[in-house]
């Protein structure tokens, strides 16, 4: 199979779909790999590294999309990329279609088979291709939240961990999954006062067992969330419903009652966001302020640390890429129910129930 790797073109997106090591594995399995010129430049891997691994370097994205049977990317195809896709082609990448009807329509019109990293499962209620980027985003959420609390960034002028004699900031993490767990680890490590909110009591028990009295845990009821958010300095939105739009947990009406200079970091923005006032931002212009509350809603947070992110993602995606290339996508998804769950669109139809429901196509 001819596998294509285009250069990512989303704002400040420097990751790449395949590393040279992954290319080498595909070549060893008898496949061809076509990599766009400078696709790996953002992580310090030049065309020579890809050529040495056995890939052919294409001068343009047009060539990659025109020739490849399987496109492997990181972020959702942008409008110009959707226009290059063709019927019968397979694209394997993050899609987040529930919050993006425009992209969904473009993929439906293209007639492609679109397999989303974020809905591939592992048989244990896990999302193995979302997990590595959720780990990165969860850890980054505390870094960027701490920076947003600084006065020059519009924040209240708080040091997240405080100092002797001065209390640390109050951090509320909405969601105790992969993002929430990693945000909690970072916030605890920096000395913040952390409360984790989750619907699952069993999940809260596991967090309590690990962190003990270094955190507070709270069951997710609307009244408790409201009280915690209104008293917080930093709120991390870490809620995920696989494939579906994220529930809005913080209505706009609460913001005027929050402390001026408090910060909301919406890690769930790819799926629509869990704050009513959220809208996607970019690394170039990452924040905006509503009612005195700083919002950080960058839709590709791990793109800021592309080298770490690319290698972490490839460790997870490579077995699935090999299966798709070795068997062809039809046999690969027939053999693996977990990969089959990743198929979101096929030949003009939405095939993922959660996505179809979110887009009103059921």
Phi, psi of 179 (to 5 degrees): -60, -50
Residue 10, CA distances (Å) to 14, 79, 141, 268, 295 in order: 9, 10, 20, 18, 21
Task: Select which of 31, 96, 295, 346 is catalytic.
Answer: 96
Structural contact between residues 225 and 202, judged by C-beta atoms closer than 8 angstroms: no
Name residues whose C-beta falls within 8 Å of residue 302's C-beta, 6 or more positions apart in sequence.
15, 133, 136, 137, 140, 308, 309
Residue 120 token pair: 């591939």
96 is a catalytic site residue: yes
Q: How many angstroms separate the CA atoms of 169 and 160, rounded?
A: 5
Structural contact between residues 13 and 303, judged by C-beta atoms closer than 8 angstroms: yes
Structural contact between residues 207 and 215, judged by C-beta atoms closer than 8 angstroms: yes
Task: Select which of 100, 233, 270, 336 is catalytic.
Answer: 270
Active-site residues: which are they?
A: 96, 270
């Amino acid at each position: 199979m001819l596998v294509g790797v285009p250069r990512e073109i989303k704002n400040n997106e420097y990751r790449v779909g395949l590393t040279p090591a992954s290319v080498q594995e595909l070549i060893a399995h008898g496949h061809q790999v076509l990599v766009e010129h400078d696709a790996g430049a953002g992580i310090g891997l030049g065309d020579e590294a890809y050529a040495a691994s056995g890939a052919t370097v294409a001068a343009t994205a047009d060539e990659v999309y025109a020739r490849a049977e399987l496109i492997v990317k990181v972020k959702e195809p942008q409008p110009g990329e959707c226009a290059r896709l063709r019927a019968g082609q397979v694209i394997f990448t993050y899609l987040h279609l529930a919050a993006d009807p425009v992209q969904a329509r473009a993929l439906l019109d293209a007639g492609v088979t679109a397999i989303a990293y974020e809905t591939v499962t592992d048989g244990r209620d896990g999302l193995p291709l979302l997990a590595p980027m959720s780990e990165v985003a969860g850890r980054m959420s505390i870094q960027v939240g701490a920076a947003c609390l600084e006065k020059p960034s519009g924040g209240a002028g708080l040091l997240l961990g405080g100092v002797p004699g001065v209390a640390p900031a109050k951090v509320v993490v909405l969601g105790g999954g992969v993002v929430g767990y990693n945000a909690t680890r970072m916030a605890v490590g920096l000395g913040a006062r952390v409360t984790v909110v989750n619907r699952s009591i069993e999940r809260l028990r596991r967090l309590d067992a690990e962190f003990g009295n270094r955190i507070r845990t709270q069951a997710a009821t609307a009244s408790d969330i409201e009280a915690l958010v209104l008293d917080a300095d930093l709120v991390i939105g870490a809620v995920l419903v696989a494939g579906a739009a994220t529930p809005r947990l913080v209505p706009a009406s609460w913001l005027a009652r929050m402390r001026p200079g408090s910060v909301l970091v919406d890690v769930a923005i790819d799926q629509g966001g869990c704050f009513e006032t959220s809208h996607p931002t970019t690394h170039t212009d990452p924040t905006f302020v509503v009612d005195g509350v700083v919002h950080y809603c960058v839709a590709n947070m791990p793109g800021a640390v592309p080298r770490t992110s690319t290698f972490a993602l490839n460790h997870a995606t490579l077995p699935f890429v090999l299966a798709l290339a070795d068997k062809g996508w039809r046999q690969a998804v027939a053999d693996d129910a977990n990969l089959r769950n990743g198929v979101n669109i096929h030949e003009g139809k939405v095939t993922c129930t959660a996505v179809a429901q979110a887009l009103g196509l059921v």
